[in-house]
Amino acid sequence: MDKKLGFGFMRLPLLEKGNAKSIDKEHVNKMVDMFIERGFTYFDTAYMYHEGISELVLKETLVQRYPREAYTIADKMPTMKLKEQDDVDRIFNEQLEKCGVEYFDYYLLHCLTKENYANAEKFNTFEYCMAKKKEGKIKCLGFSFHDTPELLDEILTKYPEMEFVQLQINYIDWEDGNVQARRCYETCLKHGKKIIVMEPVKGGLLANVPEEAKNLMKEYDEKASVPSWAIRYAASLDNVFMVLSGMSNLEQLDDNTSYMQEFKKINDDEKEIIQKVVDIILNNLKVPCTGCEYCVTTCPMNIPIPRYFELYNKQSQFGDSSNSKNRYQEMKDCGKAKDCIECGACERECPQHIEIRKHIKEVSELFD
């Protein structure tokens, strides 16, 4: 049985900050070596990662340096990029070539949302992948998913041939109203599907929990790193056979592999601590906005109110590591928080009775 930690080739170390193509391949070689030496085998890439060169780097750092039986590779059909029927076959063959392999151990329809699912259906992508499986070019077929449990149920009912689903699961999204991780997970169980977990550390956010939460974790186990709680949490769920981590340096890889080599499930005491950590993070929520968007169309200044509240909450919960300020400043073609004329139209629409004007002012003080 494979060990339950997969090496995601999506946040590899860079030689030049901000240049996703400037991958430090020597560093990646060392990471691959340590990963394999410690008995791990699962590597995850995608057509779009690192602006299209992740697959090539996988070939150079793994495929050309190790025998094929030493590792398994997961790759993904970019459902959002398909424009015409021929794209499906063209991209699949391109991927085999870029990775330098004859077959994929795991293959996924990438990022199924309502829109991407419709696109995948339009170009018969499920049928294409099933045919590739019959040919032996795909060993195990599934999809990654980012939408509602209802849509997931619909897809799994229509395509029982899918063998696994990749879901975003972590302890903070478990009961989150948007991600609905628990309900998606339960839908997979209902259909008897195996699960791969992505974003167990929520893109790194759960590596930087508030001080109070960090102290609780350290009091229980001084040696365990903060991310180890998040990864072990995901790996402890039934039917989860793989947890992906987009590791960015040797230090992270060293830490992750150390506790996943002889993986121990989260015990009841640890579960209690995680629940407390969740409460602490949620208590740092500045605005209880549910993202319903009822307010958005009413705003004469075209201010994306729920989006700004989301960034404000992230800043408060996870500090600068949330990158909220940059993301705020990068948002174009919309009103800024400082443009609010305090007309109050939004507040009349808000089902949560949020004092939007007051909080928009706070957003402005923080980010403008």
Residues in contact with ligand SF4 by CB under 6 A are: 289-295, 298-301, 303, 305-306, 340-346, 349-350, 352, 354, 356-357, 360
Nearer to ligand SF4, 227 or 304 (CB): 304
Show contacts of 313-317: CB within 8 Å, 24+ apart: 313/284, 313/285, 313/286, 313/287, 313/289, 314/205, 315/366, 316/284, 316/285, 316/286, 317/205, 317/210, 317/281, 317/284, 317/285
Look-up: residue for tokens 């550390």? 201
Minimum Å gap between C-beta 338 and ligand SF4 is 10
Phi, psi of 243 (to 5 degrees): -125, 125
CA distance 360 to 289: 12
Minimum Å gap between C-beta 324 and ligand SF4 is 17
Minimum Å gap between C-beta 311 and ligand SF4 is 13
Minimum Å gap between C-beta 347 and ligand SF4 is 7
Nearer to ligand SF4, 67 or 351 (CB): 351
Residue pair 167/188 in contact (Cβ under 8 Å)? The answer is yes
Look-up: residue for tokens 């007051």? 358
List C-alpha distances in Å: 36 to 14, 43, 67.
21, 10, 11
Nearer to ligand SF4, 9 or 309 (CB): 309
Nearer to ligand SF4, 79 or 313 (CB): 313
Minimum Å gap between C-beta 301 and ligand SF4 is 4
Nearer to ligand SF4, 20 or 296 (CB): 296
Minimum Å gap between C-beta 351 and ligand SF4 is 6
Nearer to ligand SF4, 122 or 358 (CB): 358
Minimum Å gap between C-beta 175 and ligand SF4 is 17
Q: Of the candidates 133, 146, 80, 135, which has an alpha carbon nearest to the alpha carbon of residue 107?
A: 133
CA distance 241 to 253: 19
Nearer to ligand SF4, 39 or 288 (CB): 288
DSSP string, 10-39: TS--BSSTT-TT-B-HHHHHHHHHHHHHTT
Look-up: residue for tokens 């930690």? 5
